[in-house]
Amino acid sequence: MVRTYGQGVLEELAEWSTVPVINGLTDLLHPCQILADLLTATERRGGLDGLRVAWIGDGNNMAHSWINAARVLGFGLRLACPDGFHPDGAILGPAVEAGADVAVARDPAEAARGAHVVTTDVWASMGQESEQEARAEAFAGYQVDDRVMAGADPDAVFLHCLPAHRGEEVTEAVLEGPRSAVWDEAENRLHVQKAILVRLLGP
Ligand code: NVA
């Protein structure tokens, strides 16, 4: 399992490795986290049928893995990202061309309308700490708050890969509120990672 920055580092290792290599997080993708998020959504809804997910904020590694998951599993995904922080076209473009139900909106409320899962991430990811201030400015208006959650499905849950910056990408009220499933989601990281190992090490 490799947790690093550059996707190329992981891919080079995978190319030469004689055993499977798990992406524990790169700047480009974060698939293990999305599996935990999907397990949490499945537990809360009883399945993924008809699922609609809203991603609010940075078009980052988490957003990219949500796009890949929507493409493979066929659920709906709406992303709301500020100008300059849209997902990588090399991930989004092929997904849309393949017929994935994925679209980028500008307004968080529009993306969250009717969603069963509303999710976000920090505005400055690991390695981007020096950009924190500039990013806080760019992402103003992209906070998940009660107004954004109000337009989601009445049974919608809020997810966050954690750690969260309370009062930045999400309000304290949403993070700690009754619709937040972030603690179950964090626990599910453990269970899903066990499942990945069983899958890779099993017969
Ligand atoms: N986008 C975040 C995810 C952390 C779990 C980062 O890369 O830092």
Of the candidates 152, 195, 142, 140, the one whose C-alpha atom is nearest the C-alpha of residue 177 is 152
How does pLDDT run across 166-181, given as a tens digit for each residue? Answer: 999 999 999 999 999 9
Measure Cα distances from 87 to 3, 56, 96, 155 in Å: 20, 11, 12, 27
Torsion of Cα atoms, 170 then 175 then 179 then 182, to 10°: 110
CA pair distance 137, 169, nearest whole angstrom: 12
Hey, is 159 helix, strand or coil? strand
Could you tell me where the beta strands, DSSP code E, fall in 40-179?
Answer: 52-56, 76-80, 102-105, 117-120, 157-160
CA pair distance 66, 86, nearest whole angstrom: 13
* Mean pLDDT, residues 101-110 taken together: 95
How does pLDDT run across 75-95, given as a tens digit for each residue? Answer: 999 999 999 999 999 999 999
* Mean pLDDT, residues 11-28 taken together: 97
Q: Domains along the chain?
A: 2-201 (3.40.50.1370)
State which ligand 1 atom lies nearest to the alpha carbon of 25.
Answer: 7
| pLDDT of amino acid 202 | 85
- CB distance 60 to ligand 1 below 6 Å: yes
- CB distance 91 to ligand 1 below 6 Å: no
The set of catalytic residues is 3, 30, 33, 121, 161, 189
